[in-house]
Amino acid sequence: MRRGSLVQLIALTLVAFAVGTAVAVFVPWMPTPASKEAGRIWFTYWFATWICLGIFAIVAAVLVYSLLKFRVKEGDLSDGPPVHGHTTLEIVWTAVPFVLVTAISIVSAIVLAQDSHAGKNPLKITVTAQQFAWKFTYPNKQTHGIMRIPKGRHVLLTLTSNDVIHSFWVPQMGQKQDAVPGQKNTLVITPTRLGTYPLICTELCGLGHSLMRSTVMVLSPAGYKAWYTGAEAAPPPSGGAKSAAALFTGAGTCGACHTFAPAKAAGTIGPSLDHLKADAARAGQALEAYVKQSIEDPDAYVTPTYKKGVMSASCCKQLSSDQVDKLVQYLVENSK
């Protein structure tokens, strides 16, 4: 190869590398990581990206060089000289990718192992998904609709679902994990930044899938402790101690899907409950019987323009009959 050609190839390689690097670096492809696990995943991402950029630059340079240098000359219809391979080149382009792909898989395996390691004393939270809400149960058995976790501590999530498959994803925390009925999947989060982050369901789970969101709040260890002990002092959420209004707006219950002005609920997945008297009249039922049936057997009568099977029985399965009665009473008393 002549010296001039080599200089041209190197120049083209540098240009292609600069263009590729600009696209990779200056476009914000990934959110700023907010957990140790995400930081390691971002590292893997950049490790693979730099390798790709190098290979892209070499391939693009050779391609452009060949297009310009070996353009057909006008009137020249002859064949090029026959070529029967190039052993050195073939060994190089087999060995180099082998080494690179092996390196990526080793880095990935290490990161995967580290990211699922919860340490000696993790904060254990049970995450229960259901159409279309998230619930977080803490070691003190308290359940909340948003997840608060302390900065710097390993958090071990155990995910499950009450109805269909959902998937837990906080973009800034990197990892995704499915919530599967009858199964317990785990996910480790070690938050590194204070703040509030969106939690998104990433498994198509029904009509309300796109609205199945919650929030993860990363608090300082002291702030978390204050919240946690404060929450512990509150009355337990079980049985009759919980007011009907709290049942309605509580984690993953009616308010997530229905609008009801007295409870300040504004869900839009199911029909509004702001005109229950008219709805009962249209269904040809007494108000109280109508409300009770709608909770216990949602598909027996479905408000026009809404579909059957959206309000699954799982919505109210965890309510005792006492709690259902309370809820019915609350809705009847506050309905217009």
Question: Which residues sit at the interface with ligand CUA, rule CB under 6 A?
Answer: 129, 132, 166, 201, 203-205, 209, 212
For ligand CUA, which is the closer residue by CB, 129 or 170?
129
User: Nearest distance from residue 304's CB to ligand CUA, in Å?
Assistant: 26
Amino acid in position 21: T
User: Nearest distance from residue 218's CB to ligand CUA, in Å?
Assistant: 23
The strand pair at 143-144 and 133-137 is best described as antiparallel
Angle at 246 between CA 243 and CA 251, to 5 degrees: 140
Annotate 125-153 with b (16+ C-beta within 10 A) or e (fewer): bbbbbbbbbbbbbbeeeebbbebbbbbee
- The number of beta carbons lying within 10 Å of the beta carbon of residue 336 is 10
For ligand CUA, which is the closer residue by CB, 204 or 266?
204
Tokens for 221, please give them.
Answer: 């260890």
DSSP string covering 237-279, please? Answer: SSGGGS-HHHHHHSTTSGGGT-EEGGGTEE--SS--STTHHHH
Cα(187)–Cα(156) distance, rounded to whole angstroms? Answer: 6
Cα(333)–Cα(245) distance, rounded to whole angstroms? Answer: 12
User: Nearest distance from residue 169's CB to ligand CUA, in Å?
Assistant: 10
Helices 87-115 and 36-69 pack at an angle, to 10 degrees, of 160
For ligand CUA, which is the closer residue by CB, 178 or 274?
178
Backbone angles phi, psi at 161, to 5 degrees: -135, 150
Nearest residue to 129 via CA among 173, 185, 172 = 185
User: Nearest distance from residue 130's CB to ligand CUA, in Å?
Assistant: 8
DSSP 151: T
For ligand CUA, which is the closer residue by CB, 131 or 172?
131
User: Nearest distance from residue 272's CB to ligand CUA, in Å?
Assistant: 22
State which H helix or E strand residue 140 sits in. none
For ligand CUA, which is the closer residue by CB, 12 or 212?
212
- The number of beta carbons lying within 10 Å of the beta carbon of residue 83 is 6
For ligand CUA, which is the closer residue by CB, 57 or 216?
216
User: Nearest distance from residue 250's CB to ligand CUA, in Å?
Assistant: 18
User: Nearest distance from residue 162's CB to ligand CUA, in Å?
Assistant: 11
For ligand CUA, which is the closer residue by CB, 47 or 169?
169
For ligand CUA, which is the closer residue by CB, 16 or 310?
310
User: Nearest distance from residue 314's CB to ligand CUA, in Å?
Assistant: 12
